[in-house]
Structure 1
Amino acid sequence: MPRYFFHTQNGDRIRDDQGEDLPNVDAAREEAVTVLGEILRYRSAGFWDTGVFSVIVTDAEGVTVVSVTAKASQEAPQGWALADADE
């Protein structure tokens, strides 16, 4: 079973030297989202201090296989708008 490593970055880089055995990249993607969610839940309001938090997943050779990032902002994403209730 392949081993994947879940590194984090929020201004500081935290390297995962242990990794986790998972059946495939799809499972690594799921785990990356879970890890990011747990970090955001743990950091809570402190997330606003860093503004961006990433989980970067690499394989045993160090090749990035997936990355997921959460970004905090006072601005709405470009192109975002609420649909009018009458439409």
Structure 2
Amino acid sequence: MPHFYFHTENGDCIRDDQGEDLPDVEAAREEAVTVLGEILRYRGAAFWETASFSVIVTDADGRTVVSVTARASDAAPEGWTLQETGE
């Protein structure tokens, strides 16, 4: 079973030295989203200080296989509009 490491970045890089055995890259993607969600839940105030949290997943050879990032902003994303609903 492949071994993946879940490193985090929020201004400081925190290296995962233990990792986790998972069946495949798809499972690693799901775990990366779960890890990011836990970071945002428990360290939410720090999220606004750094404006970004990332989880970078590497394989046993150190190659990046996936990364997921959440960004904070006081502005709406470019192109975003609130559409009127047709009630």
TM-score range, shorter chain: over 0.9
Deviation at 1:47, TM superposition (A): 1.2
Question: Unmatched 5+ residue regions in structure 2?
Answer: none
Aligned to 2:16: 16
Aligned CA RMSD, in angstroms, stands at 1.2
Deviation at 1:63, TM superposition (A): 0.5
Structure 1: 4+ residue segments shifted above 3 A = none
Question: Unmatched 5+ residue regions in structure 1?
Answer: none
Cα deviations by residue, 1:43-68 (Å, 9 ceiling, x for unpaired): 12221011000000000001000000
Aligned to 2:3: 3
Is 2:80 aligned against 1:80? yes
- The aligned length equals 87
Aligned to 1:49: 49
TM-score normalised over the length of structure 1: 0.95
Cα deviations by residue, 1:9-32 (Å, 9 ceiling, x for unpaired): 011000101100000000000000
